[in-house]
Amino acid sequence: MDSSQVLELITESMNAQEPRSGGVHVSSICAACLRKSWYGYRLGEFNDITGIRTLWFGRAMHASLNLKGFLKEQERKWENIVGTIDFFNPDQKIIVDFKTHGDITRQLPMPSHVQQVECYSLLNEKCGFGNIEQGFIAYFSKQSPYDVRICKAPLRPMENVEKQMVNIAGLITSDKIPPRQMGWLCKYCPFSMRCFGNTPDKLEMK
């Protein structure tokens, strides 16, 4: 084996796609583009180098940090919706979610990240672990992991969260493709060729 063959193996792995198992993930429900989540539910996500870098950095932060009094990486599943709570304090009923960000000086928290914490809170309640009283998002700077910003996530009434979450999950699992949501992120989307193709809706679940 030579260096070009090693590179070919790495490239093949990066381009591999596998649908995430277990149901509809909270991250898909809270994504900016519903059509992207619809494709991702069926095809999985492309592992481009930028995404891999972010994934590695995020995993390293999760693996290396432990918060006193908190349980780490708690999976919750209700109906066909699944999510993993980064840190959960069962005594104080607190959730802490870790995020990486390119510029933690901007206006934060991001609405989609707050929505994720809300969904985790609902799943926690539905799975019998009690209601969540406080939610926080820890933003780690991609430029310097020592720069961390903590934002409180304001939580809406859980009945409102449940209605929205169940509705979006239903749209993701539906056979009908959601409307295209055009924006600046389209040029970075791994599904753009399908989305803007002649028959983007001709895709069936395996």
pTM for the complete prediction?
0.84
Find the helix or strand (DSSP H, E) in which 14 lies: helix 3-14
pLDDT at site 203:
53
Structure tokens at 120: 């985790």
List 82's β-bridge partners, or say none: 25, 77
Spatial neighbors of 61 by CB under 8 A, at least 6 apart, are: 98, 100, 140, 145
Domains of the chain (ranges plus CATH)? 13-195 (3.90.320.10)
* Mean pLDDT split into 10-residue runs, the chain, 206 residues: 78 63 90 93 72 69 86 95 96 95 89 97 97 95 84 97 97 94 85 76 48
pLDDT tens per residue across span 67-125: 999 999 999 999 999 999 999 999 999 999 999 888 888 899 999 999 999 999 999 99
CB 145 within 8 A of CB 108: no
What's the Rg (C-alpha) of the chain? Answer: 18
Structure letter (DSSP) for residue 196: T
Structure tokens at 149: 């910003």
